[in-house]
Structure 1
Amino acid sequence: MTSTPRPGAPAPTHAAAPPVAVLGECVADAFTEGGEDATSGLPTLGLSVFPGGGPANTAVALARLGTPTRFLGRLSSDVFGRLFRERFAKSGVDLSRAVDAAEPSTLAIATVGDGGSAEYAFHAEGAADFGWTAAELADSAAGPLSCLHTGSLALARQPGGAAIEGLLAGVRERATVSIDPNVRPLLVEPAVYRERLAQWCEYADIFRLSDDDLAHLLPGAPPERAADELHAAGVPLVVVTLGARGVLASLDGSRLRVAAPETDVVDTVGAGDSFMAGMLHALHAAGALGGRLDALGTEPLGSALEYGVRVSAAVCEVRGANPPWGRELGVRG
């Protein structure tokens, strides 16, 4: 990994920066537990429900690491919505700009396979997360921000996705834009993501892909070629997470690789979301967020990637998306 500063990059500042806002969905992750009814002998299926959702996981992880974090979401008043609010409150996430929504929460039934990977069946029709209006978004995103991180289902599903794209075009004038598409083919056809990819690249300063996302969005492209294609479309920083093989990042074509630490994997739920939180936390602490990443060199980026994989590994060692607190890892910044 090179530590050469990006040519012409000014030294990062460590002055207090505005918060990071995370925009997107909350999902109730229900894990199945088979059994048998003691009276009838009939097979039963129990559910252990955890608060989740890619953007929500990232917001919780950011706040626990110590970054001032605001969640921009449409939160239902149902039982799952109350679960989400409790998780955010206990993690220190600012919900002052969240929308109280009448629609139900999104539910995902998760089955964990060999190696800890999870497969989902989603129940999301008419859910609160995807009903954003332009007016709601303008109010939620008002005020100083250092970064707006979004993606996943909220960006890809309509009618809210189009409104979020409109917000990103304006937010770019005052904050770094980070996008994690987090492709969910069971709910949105990958072709829909591919159709919007070029537009998202025009908005994004940071674009993160998992290896699964890469296979859906740029089939057959190795990570290096994918990075070059996304750079050509306008993205300064491309990050490809490769599971146990670590991370590849490309900053305007300068490549960095970071290995994943050895981990006793329980499951991988929330691993990518928590990686993003760790990386954004370190970049925020280094004063690199707030614009087009002009202050970012490869050395602070490498440190941010290394912190991100540490956070991700910690999540893989526990059940569900339960990110660590900064005091458990050693706070950066």
Structure 2
Amino acid sequence: MVRRAARVTVVGESLVDLLWRKGEDQPRAVAGGSPANVAVGLRRLGREVTLVTTRGDDPPGELVRARVEEAGLDVRWMPSSGSTTVALAHLDDAGAARYEFLASWAPDELTVPADTAVIHTGSLAAVLEPGARRVLELCARQREAGVSVAADLNVRPAAQPDRERYRVAARRLASATDVLKASDEDLGWLYPGQSPERSARRLLAEGPRLVVVTLGAAGALGVAPSGTVRVTAPPVEVVDTVGAGDAFQAALLDAVARDGVPSGTAELTRVLERCARAGALTCTRAGSQPPTLEELDGPGAGGAGADAG
């Protein structure tokens, strides 16, 4: 695979999903975690990527290690006293997942490569202490140094059921980022009764340059100080939705690493259409299997060609 310039460093948890589909007798163990999935997605897009994460000295940790090695990721294993996080994902008839967590995120330190152009974090890593505080400190330092910072809220009430504490964490994360992503379900839980766009604008007021909201089969919207852009999602036959948001985020980070944070309406529309295509392609196969660069941008993909930047 040809690697592309501008390194993205992903900071966050690696875990094992126990995927339990309705009607099945036993779950299936799959190494995952939103940050790890994003890193794999970036690697498949040919992007220079480093994953900064932890794992326990336990059987789930061995699954995590094997998965990232198979993906060819550059990994910085941070010292940690915690065990490997395990998530029980209940899949419904439509392939949508509901999660329960046995979670740990306690890195003793966080360091990133000196050539990092974009940092990404979010999910459990942004809300579980003591790691969340260290993540926010890292993002603030890197942003001050001129590194672009992006995050995915990826709200997990099972890990932090206190809504107000989660809102505080979301605002803190927004204040430390240039690009913040959330799903309409994330925002619906954080701010019940508000439209996704209104909730996104609340978070935009905390300081990001762009807030992106995924809308499932309805596509996505991007909210910036200059206005709102909406895109539709390509229709696909859904196997399950595991990892679709992470594939979307990988494509978004790839665009930021290549050209910076999208600003103009035409540029943002083009970027979000590509991201929606990445998420849709992931839904067509079981588990978190993000598309390759050729699948996303090759002949017949329906979008702009690959950029070797």
User: Residues 178-189 of structure 1: matches in 2 within 5 Å?
Assistant: 178-189=150-161
Which residue identity is paired with 1:107?
Answer: V
Pick from 282, 297, 300: which aligns with 1:330? 297
Q: CA deviation at 1:33?
A: 6.4
Pick from 170, 178, 181: which aligns with 1:205? 178
SS in 2 for 1:31: strand
Corresponding position: 1:106 with 2:73? no
Return closer, same or farther for 1:21/1:279 CA change in 2, 3 Å cut-off. Answer: same
> Residues 22 and 92 of structure 2 are in contact (CA less than 8 Å); yes or no, is this contact kept in structure 1?
no
> Residues 61 and 277 of structure 1 are in contact (CA less than 8 Å); yes or no, is this contact kept in structure 2?
yes
Residue matched to 1:309: 276
Mapped to 1, the partners of 2:172 and 2:98 lie a distance apart of 29
Residue matched to 2:44: 64
User: Residues 44-63 of structure 1: matches in 2 within 5 Å?
Assistant: 45-63=25-43
Pick from 224, 228, 250: which aligns with 1:277? 250
User: Residues 1-333 of structure 1: matches in 2 within 5 Å?
Assistant: 17-32=5-20, 45-95=25-75, 97-101=76-80, 103-124=82-103, 127=104, 130-133=105-108, 136-137=109-110, 140-173=111-144, 174-189=146-161, 190-285=163-258, 287-288=259-260, 293=261, 296-330=263-297, 332-333=306-307
Mapped to 1, the partners of 2:226 and 2:202 lie a distance apart of 10
Mapped to 2, the partners of 1:211 and 1:55 lie a distance apart of 19
Q: CA deviation at 1:270?
A: 1.0
> Residues 251 and 298 of structure 1 are in contact (CA less than 8 Å); yes or no, is this contact kept in structure 2?
no
TM-score (norm 2): 0.89
Q: Runs of 5+ in structure 2 lacking a partner?
A: 299-305
SS in 2 for 1:25: coil
TM-score (norm 1): 0.83
> Residues 151 and 181 of structure 1 are in contact (CA less than 8 Å); yes or no, is this contact kept in structure 2?
yes
Mapped to 2, the partners of 1:32 and 1:307 lie a distance apart of 30
Mapped to 1, the partners of 2:171 and 2:92 lie a distance apart of 34
SS in 2 for 1:216: helix
Mapped to 1, the partners of 2:22 and 2:117 lie a distance apart of 45
| 1:47-86 Cα distance to aligned partner (Å, 9 max, x none) | 3111111111111101111111110101223222222222
Q: CA deviation at 1:146?
A: 1.1
Q: Runs of 5+ in structure 1 lacking a partner?
A: 1-15, 36-43
SS in 2 for 1:30: strand
How many correspondences in the alignment?
295
Mapped to 2, the partners of 1:144 and 1:132 lie a distance apart of 22
Mapped to 1, the partners of 2:255 and 2:293 lie a distance apart of 11
Return closer, same or farther for 1:80/1:179 CA change in 2, 3 Å cut-off. Answer: same
Q: CA deviation at 1:312?
A: 0.6
Return closer, same or farther for 1:196/1:46 CA change in 2, 3 Å cut-off. Answer: closer
Larger Rg: 1
Mapped to 1, the partners of 2:257 and 2:130 lie a distance apart of 31
Return closer, same or farther for 1:33/1:118 CA change in 2, 3 Å cut-off. Answer: closer
Which 10-residue stretch deviates more, 225-234 or 178-187?
225-234
Return closer, same or farther for 1:101/1:202 CA change in 2, 3 Å cut-off. Answer: closer
Q: CA deviation at 1:230?
A: 2.1
Mapped to 2, the partners of 1:32 and 1:208 lie a distance apart of 27
Q: Which runs of 4+ in 1 moved over 6 A?
A: none
